[in-house]
Chains A and B, each alone.
Chain A
């Protein structure tokens, strides 16, 4: 009897903790919104974060985007060949990239690269009292540290995603046309026919959401780090896991709403 109640107790506590955490993230988000509209905006810090999140992620995003497009083309080819519909490979790659894989893969790569770095950086600043130092100097830490990261995430993710989309389609093209000898005209015609502007734009809206999620989670975990170097490590891991899971789950709901 005692054992059962202990299990229920633990389960209930876990649920409560999660709900509490969601609430705290939401509150952090609201204070970010509040500080975002209060001038002056720290443009230099924003640009610095944009460079970190966006410019320095170009390489991985180009790499993953290209190879994903290539693999999709290859796999799609074996399937479509059974129906003599090889020319649909291009539109499959294009739709897959613009709607799903572009935004999601980009978000996961950036989470791993920049989301983790945000958590680690803010976590270190927390345990070495740099965040307190900011407060003491009457400089709001949310404004100085979190707002630039959130803005960078929300703005840069769509930009990276469009690059990823483009590279994926290009990768698909290079596997499809020169290697698998799919008719070039039909390949491209099918892409332009089947892909709508809405597919691209909705993908970019998704990407902006993912950018918000990964930067918000990274900042939240880093900002609330306790327990020295070990705590920083824990915060980083938790940030990557929570952000990745949130991105994949929210992707389902965003897709359900938009398409």
Chain B
């Protein structure tokens, strides 16, 4: 379970997070929505300790990861998988080695066993026969699938998605959404998804949180959010220029 308590963060003089309080439920998919450059990625990076808050607590299973040293933080991180915006596959390794990387790092498995797991994970994300390809030879959608395969290689409990559908065509977007849902069900994952794609939000999200001006202004089930009367949320969902969100 991930719990954020009054998290503040600023870069230089710009306040990005201004007292975030949020509790991610286990076994569910939580979608965090908000405007571009509104600090969603920053929030996500706090959950896995890539960034440390200026003040406040980030609790993972009751442990405040903001105050951990590297070694203990790495132990916590083994519970996580993360799919980055551009998949962040290692250019210098082929698909096989990319997915095998966390296995080689954290297990003492033999080559044959690792190969088996990699094939299994690739099948789970709907790919096969791409083991020997380099990331540069793959399309954007395939890269994301490989990224997801890598994220779930170690059987994590929590998977973080940083804008999984950005830059994909509608068909591929749909395919990735399906994949997220399927993976979440099959591996019984706690998922946190960052998105500003309204179609996807209601498809994959059990819970939805709205980040606006450094705070969580709404949090609830997808129906509750759908029916919310919050003017900011209404403007965001409808994509209207009229409302409290200033475009300029």
Contact = CB atoms under 8 A, between A and B. Distances in A.
A–B in direct contact per CB < 8 Å: yes
Interface of A: 124-125, 128-130, 132-133, 135-140
Interface stretch (B25-33, B83-91, B239-247): B83-91
Most buried by B among A124, A130, A136: A136
A130 B101 contact: no
Contact of A132 (B50, B74, B80): B50
29 contacts: A124-B91, A125-B90, A128-B86, A128-B88, A129-B85, A129-B86, A129-B88, A130-B88, A130-B89, A130-B90, A130-B91, A132-B88, A133-B84, A133-B88, A133-B89, A135-B49, A136-B48, A136-B80, A136-B82, A137-B101, A137-B102, A138-B74, A138-B75, A138-B78, A138-B106, A139-B101, A139-B102, A140-B70, A140-B74
B77 interface: yes
A210 to B, nearest CB: 26
Closest 8 pairs between A and B when the two form their complex, measured CB to CB: A138-B74, A133-B88, A129-B88, A138-B77, A129-B84, A136-B82, A137-B102, A130-B88
Contact of A125 (B48, B74, B75, B91): B91
Nearest to A135: B50
A59 B78 CA distance: 44
Nearest to B101: A137
Contacts of B70: 140
B112 interface: no
A129 B88 CA distance: 5
B165 to A, nearest CB: 17
B95 to A, nearest CB: 14
Contacts of B78: 138
Contacts of B84: 129, 132-133
Contact of B105 (A124, A129, A130, A139): A139
A138 B105 contact: yes
A235 to B, nearest CB: 16
Nearest to A31: B70
Contacts of B75: 138
Contacts of B77: 135-138
Nearest to B82: A136
Contacts of A128: 86, 88, 91
A135 B76 CA distance: 12
Given A130-B91, A139-B101, 15 more contacts: A125-B90, A128-B91, A129-B86, A130-B89, A130-B90, A132-B50, A133-B89, A133-B90, A135-B49, A135-B77, A137-B101, A137-B105, A138-B75, A138-B78, A138-B106
Contacts of A125: 90-91
Which interface residue of B49, B84, B85, B88 has the most chain A CB atoms within 10 A?
Answer: B88
Contacts of A140: 70, 74
Interface in B83-119: 84-86, 88-91, 101-102, 105-106
A128 B90 CA distance: 9
A129 B85 CA distance: 8
Nearest to B76: A138
Interface in B22-72: 45, 48-50, 70
Nearest to A127: B86
Contacts of A130: 88-91
Contacts of A133: 82, 84, 88-90
A136 B150 CA distance: 11
B99 to A, nearest CB: 11
Interface in B129-163: 150
Nearest to B70: A140
Contacts of A138: 74-75, 77-78, 102, 105-106
